[in-house]
């Protein structure tokens, strides 16, 4: 097998389900529908990028709104307010962020449009919150969307993009990851296996180039306060523990080895993990005959 390139996201997909990894990356089978978390956070990031590169708050929000009209889903540009391949969550539409007049204007609109306009409003609120709570504490931006790669002895690459490298208000050089989330991240997220492996990877990727003092998360919570519509933010910064860094790279070594060996077993208990049914379940159970909910893009390897 040729040289492999593996990101944190791809590694986690393999660990969750090696068979799903094979269908996704080797057969290019993708889910027809795309849930809002797939694109919402990345589009909010386009607005934050404007701020971090010296733009104004209004320019940041306008950039977000411009990009939140369409998105590339499986190689096709889809209208986010009306496409039938866009799947919004029930919580995406939040009554509390609209005035009575705005709600009246929404009467008769499709649920798809209501969810889209609600998320658009939330995105602007998240950028406002970032500008209010986090941006003033950034003394100097060193880099944004910085690409990195780490090569092993076989020439395989672990790669990715780092959201932000900056000097914090207390003089520390920090490496935070932006997270648009429905959950409140715990204070110990950097040292936990559930959240911290990604930032452990980022730390190891850049520590030989920059004297990084801490990694962590700038979280933007999509769940809006009820009494006073306001987006909440949280800053979590810490040094990644050595054992977590080691575990992260051990996982990469194991996954790269298993991919090269062609090991793609089906972990059947994970078919319904995290409260969701794997999109490949019918395809897998039918021996590759039932493509319900799936679409093939590109060419299989």
Instruction: Please give the pLDDT value at position 83.
Output: 96
Among the listed ranges 216-225, 250-259, 273-282, which one has the minimum average pLDDT value? 273-282
- Whether 295 is covered by a domain: the verdict is no
Residue range 191-200: mean pLDDT, rounded:
96
What is the torsional sign of CA 208, 187, 253, 177? negative
Residue range 21-47: mean pLDDT, rounded:
95
**Tally of CB atoms within 10 A around 273:** 12
Instruction: Please give the pLDDT value at position 187.
Output: 97
- Whether 142 is covered by a domain: the verdict is yes
E strand residue ranges, 100-231: 138-151, 157-168, 173-181, 214-221
Q: What is the pLDDT of residues 147-157, one digit of tens each?
A: 999 998 889 99
- For 40, 139, 140, 194, the CA distances from 133, given in Å and listed in that order, are 20, 13, 16, 25
User: Dihedrals φ, ψ of 98, to 5°?
Assistant: -115, 145
Containing 200, the helix (H) or strand (E) segment is: helix 193-206
Instruction: Please give the pLDDT value at position 81.
Output: 96
Q: Name the pLDDT band for 301 (thresholds 50, 70, 90).
A: very low
Mean pLDDT of the chain: 93
Q: Name the pLDDT band for 227 (thresholds 50, 70, 90).
A: low
**Residue 103 is part of which domain span?**
34-253
- Whether 155 is covered by a domain: the verdict is yes
DSSP string covering 43-66, please? HHHHHHHHHHTT--HHHHHHHHHH
> Based on the number of CB atoms within 10 Å of its own CB, is 229 exposed (0-12), middle (13-18) or buried (19 or more)?
middle
Instruction: Please give the pLDDT value at position 225.
Output: 72
Is the pTM for the entire model greater than 0.85? yes
- Cα(174)–Cα(172) distance, integer angstroms: 6
pLDDT exceeds cutoff 90 at 1: no
- Whether 262 is covered by a domain: the verdict is no
Residue range 1-7: mean pLDDT, rounded:
86
Contact assessment for residue 244 and residue 193, using Cβ atoms and an 8 Å cutoff: yes
Within 13 A of 38's CA, how many CA atoms are on the CB side?
A: 17
- Whether 168 is covered by a domain: the verdict is yes
Q: What is the pLDDT of residues 36-78, one digit of tens each?
A: 999 999 999 999 999 999 999 999 999 999 999 999 999 999 9
Q: Name the pLDDT band for 272 (thresholds 50, 70, 90).
A: confident
- Cα(31)–Cα(54) distance, integer angstroms: 37
* pLDDT > 70 in the chain, percent: 96
Q: What is the pLDDT of residues 114-145, one digit of tens each?
A: 999 999 999 999 999 999 999 999 999 999 99
Instruction: Please give the pLDDT value at position 213.
Output: 98
Q: What is the CATH number of the domain that holds 59?
A: 3.90.320
Pick the residue with more confidence: 109 or 226? 109
- Whether 299 is covered by a domain: the verdict is no
* Domains in the chain, number: 1
Q: Partners of 173 in the beta sheet? A: 167
- Whether 159 is covered by a domain: the verdict is yes
- Whether 296 is covered by a domain: the verdict is no
Q: Name the pLDDT band for 300 (thresholds 50, 70, 90).
A: very low
Contacts 24+ apart (CB under 8 A), 97-100: 97/121, 97/122, 97/125, 97/224, 97/229
Instruction: Please give the pLDDT value at position 228.
Output: 67
């Amino acid at each position: 097998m040729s040289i492999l390139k593996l990101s944190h996201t791809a590694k986690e997909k393999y660990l969750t389900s090696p068979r799903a990894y094979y269908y996704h990356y080797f057969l290019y089978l993708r889910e027809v529908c795309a849930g809002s978390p797939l694109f919402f956070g990345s589009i909010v990031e386009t607005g934050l990028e404007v701020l971090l590169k010296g733009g104004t708050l209004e320019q940041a929000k306008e950039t977000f709104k411009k990009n939140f009209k369409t998105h590339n889903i499986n190689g096709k540009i889809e209208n986010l307010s009306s496409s039938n391949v866009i799947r919004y969550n029930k919580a995406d539409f939040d009554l509390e962020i609209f005035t009575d007049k705005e709600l009246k204007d929404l009467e008769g609109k499709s649920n798809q449009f209501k969810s889209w306009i609600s998320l658009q409003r939330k995105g602007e609120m998240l950028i406002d919150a970032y500008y209010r709570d986090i941006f003033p504490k950034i003394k100097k931006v060193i880099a944004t969307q910085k690409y990195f790669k780490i090569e092993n002895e076989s020439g395989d690459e672990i790669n990715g993009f780092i959201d932000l490298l900056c000097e914090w208000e207390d003089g520390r050089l920090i490496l935070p990851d932006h997270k648009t989330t429905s959950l409140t991240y715990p204070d110990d997220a950097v040292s936990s296996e559930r959240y911290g492996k990604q930032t452990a990877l980022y730390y190891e990727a850049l520590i030989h180039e920059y004297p990084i003092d801490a990694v962590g998360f700038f979280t933007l919570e999509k769940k809006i306060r009820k009494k006073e519509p306001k987006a909440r933010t949280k800053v979590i910064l810490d040094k990644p523990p050595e054992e977590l860094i080691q575990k992260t790279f051990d996982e990469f070594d194991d996954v790269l080895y298993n991919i090269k060996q062609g090991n793609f077993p089906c972990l059947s208990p994970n078919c319904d993990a995290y409260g969701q049914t794997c999109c490949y379940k019918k395809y897998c159970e039918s021996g590759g005959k039932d493509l319900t909910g799936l679409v093939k893009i590109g060419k299989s390897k």
